[in-house]
Structure 1
């Protein structure tokens, strides 16, 4: 049985690329056609690439490895967090701190500090400290949790990394390359696919498209762990997604995409 269907990809808008004036020629092999100044991604190839990425993650996890999910752009933040938590893996969805991988020893010291403050909040330390000191500690805690909360249980470097938009996450990509950590990523038509070990050609700006692909990567982890799912996110409100998609569509012209293209014939075309 296929990991993902053409219909799922089409309905989520995975096929919408960027404006033709904003593209990377290296993505040419993944482009099906152009309509109204927008590149249309070849979903036949996307299906195959999702399968390859799914298999890669499943293999890593089945051998005891870990996955780091990375997506700091607005459209990816919620999906990265919820799906990583659902499958019990690590994530960065707020800000990529330089050295998160290449200077992991220092990052671990900040994680230790986060854990220390968490302990202080539960062991009664806060109760005996001056109010001003507690306020200061809580602010520090909030900042550390925001930036490091998704990796606070990560004891060592991840074995594979999944990124939404390698162009946006270029520092993460550079650090992964330096350390030889394999990369999987959603690559839109303005990205360089050569930066990734496993390319998933697709729309990295639409919330539904991102969520669909991220959820499949989380499913791979769950399957490798024999179906263990830590949180249930299958019934999240679709109305919230609708609102978020509308907000994303209202972003500036450089990041938004025209979605009023008549694509009713694309599913048939992709399967010809």
Structure 2
């Protein structure tokens, strides 16, 4: 079913930032300004989201690796739930520096996480004292909270979806400097970088809007 302007309006995804905070590079997506807030064109947004949805579906058909990246605290649990339901990788905490550009280091961290899990499930772990077990579990939980969504990632992702490109400006710069990785950037009207074919300018401050958009493009 095609994405409609009404769905976008109902979710509030078409509401931008204050005009004084908005960047001119996003102005081609504006419908107007109401009470100092930028209002985005829901028809253009529907086209953007349809293009992204098609791209995601193509990647899934080709069994390509899709990664969703978000540092938005209000959206942490929903990113985990949606991505696990849709079978895609995710990072929903603070993204480690050089995550993609220094991928071999990331793989070592993932291997370490998986090794910790195997140890916890082993008989050797039961031989530790209760205090030692508690300390080790806390250490594992800390690492797991960061890397659990990529624990089975065996190679660089083919497609990366970034939630709030302005908040993750450094990561977006790193991502766009890499070859052979397609990028989808979801960003607000304050986004000051080039808006590509598979990017969408939308409301980045509404849980309802973010949930609608991510659910839609991953379906």
TM bracket, shorter-chain basis: over 0.9
Which ranges of structure 1 fall in alignment gaps of 5 or more residues?
220-272
Q: Measured at CA, do residues 5 and 197 of structure 1 come closer, stay the same or move farther in structure 2, by a change above 3 Å?
A: closer
- Per the normalisation by structure 1, the TM-score is 0.76
Tell me the distance in 2 between the aligned counterparts of 1:45 and 1:136: 52
**Structure 1 Cα separation of the partners of residues 129 and 115 of structure 2:** 18
**Structure 2 equivalent of residue 168 of structure 1:** 167
Match for residue 208 of structure 2? 208
Distance 1:166 1:75 in 2: 16
Structure 1 residue 199: deviation in Å?
1.5
Contact 2:89/2:149, CA 8 A, preserved across alignment? yes
CA-CA distance at 1:105 after TM superposition: 1.0
How big is the shift at 1:216?
1.2
Paired with 1:72 and 1:152, the residues of 2 have a C-alpha distance of: 18
Distance 2:21 2:201 in 1: 15
Q: What does residue 53 of structure 1 align with?
A: 52
**Following the alignment from structure 2 to structure 1, what is the Cα–Cα distance between the partners of residues 139 and 121?**
16
The CA deviation at 1:75 is: 3.2
Establish whether residue 186 from structure 1 lines up as the match of residue 186 from structure 2. Answer: yes
1:25 and 1:61 map into 2 onto residues whose CA distance is: 34
TM-score, normalised to structure 2, is 0.94
Q: Using a 3 Å threshold, how does the CA distance of structure 1 residues 40 and 97 change in structure 2: closer, same or farther?
A: same
Is contact 2:4-2:43 (8 Å) kept? no
Indicate whether 1:64 and 2:63 are aligned: yes
Cα distance in 1 for partners of 2:170, 2:131 equals: 37
Partner of 2:104: 105
- Alignment length, in residue pairs? 218
Question: CA RMSD for the aligned pairs?
Answer: 1.4
What's the counterpart of residue 138 of structure 1? Answer: 137
Deviation string for 1:75-121 (max 9, x for gaps)? 33233211111111100111110021111111111111111111112
